[in-house]
Homo-oligomer: A and B are copies of this chain.
């Protein structure tokens, strides 16, 4: 990638795409650290208060002001000269953003999804192929968003927590090293994952968000107000989550990828243990006070179903692992919201891996090459070329 470096100079410029709770925190932090940052948001309205102030005030874990080089709803302007584009929008918007970004990208640029949920990098990579983006553009996805943060007022964002470890992987996997090196200049918490199947299948939100929302649907809609985790995940709900988690692990295993279970993750992240998932969640004090959403059709469904559960089920199909629990939740979410998530979500086609064998999928995530069992259907060669 060094051949492209001169284009961007020594100063590492970031474009942060999305000015929500996450984007404002990430952009503000990087600007506060002294990096040139361009903040983009599709809707200009959300940028007004920030543009007036020239940046955002950081609170909580960081205290200071992050001044931006640009605050814009012009994607081309945001991406110009940025070595790294950090995508910080709901995954349900990934596809549209990828298409919108395509004409503005230049070789050497690195696009990192924060996070990709499941199949985010695959979907971006496929859109970039279709749009004939230069193969020198790199796509990567983080497994989780680095901060717990919230916009607390006009131009004010509070960072509650910083994750210790944020695995990230590029497609093809050989480019992960470059991505990590760039990210760590601003954020030392980024560590390499083996490949995008690992970051994609280590998706705990897929397990913890949609099913409790559906199994508390009337409680949400009658405005009762309750804690998503401690009141919303009762033993019967937790049994559903465990079945979904077992399916996620089975899909990962069939793909030759090791990911931790939801219970193992709770232990690693919060030090809680329990004889079952219900007990572990119930004893996790970090979850106290996390309110359930106040409407059923919120990001726990609109994002986690199409961009987490649907692609896990789709990858299950590819490897021949049935996912009846996940499918039931996708179906129920579709009925409750009126959105056909199986059709609207990340299918194998949208991830660009339909018709692949497991071996072919591995070749693809490792080398970026499409190899199909039925030869001649599509054929690419060369590392990272498409």
A219 contacts B by Cβ under 8 Å: yes
A243 contacts B by Cβ under 8 Å: yes
Q: Check if A327 sits within 8 Å of B338, measured CB to CB.
A: no
Q: Which residues of B contact A332 (CB under 8 A)?
A: 215, 240, 325, 328-329, 332
Q: Choose one: B221, B233, B325, B328; the contact of A218 (CB below 8 Å).
A: B233
Q: Which residues of B contact A234 (CB under 8 A)?
A: 217-218, 220-222, 296
Interface flags, A302-330, vs B, CB<8A=1, else 0 = 00000000000000000000001101110
A164 contacts B by Cβ under 8 Å: no
Q: Check if A336 sits within 8 Å of B240, measured CB to CB.
A: yes
Q: Which residues of B contact A336 (CB under 8 A)?
A: 215, 236-237, 239-240
Q: Choose one: B215, B233, B235, B243; the contact of A215 (CB below 8 Å).
A: B215
Q: Assembly of this chain: how many copies? A: 2
Interface set, chain A 180-201, CB cutoff 8 A to B: none
Alpha-carbon distance A219/B337, docked complex (angstroms): 20
Alpha-carbon distance A236/B334, docked complex (angstroms): 10
A216 contacts B by Cβ under 8 Å: yes
Q: How far is the CB of A41 from chain B (nearest CB, A)?
A: 29
Q: How far is the CB of A219 from chain B (nearest CB, A)?
A: 5
- Of the listed residues A231, A236, A239, the one surrounded by the most CB atoms of chain B closer than 10 A to its CB is A236
Q: Which residues of B contact A328 (CB under 8 A)?
A: 327-329, 331-332, 335
Q: Choose one: B218, B240, B297, B335; the contact of A219 (CB below 8 Å).
A: B218
Interface set, chain A 208-232, CB cutoff 8 A to B: 212, 214-222, 224, 226, 231-232
Residue of B nearest to A233 (CB): B218
Q: Choose one: B237, B325, B337; the contact of A217 (CB below 8 Å).
A: B237
Q: Check if A240 sits within 8 Å of B327, measured CB to CB.
A: no
Q: How far is the CB of A209 from chain B (nearest CB, A)?
A: 14
Alpha-carbon distance A232/B217, docked complex (angstroms): 9
Report A's interface with B, CB cutoff 8 A.
212, 214-222, 224, 226, 231-237, 239-240, 243, 296-297, 324-325, 327-329, 331-332, 335-338
Apart from A216-B218, A220-B236, A328-B331, list 11 A-B contacts with CB within 8 A.
A215-B215, A217-B237, A218-B236, A221-B235, A222-B231, A222-B234, A236-B297, A240-B335, A327-B331, A329-B332, A332-B332
> Can you list 7 A-B pairs with a CB-CB distance of less than 8 A?
A215-B216, A217-B234, A218-B233, A221-B236, A222-B226, A239-B338, A327-B331
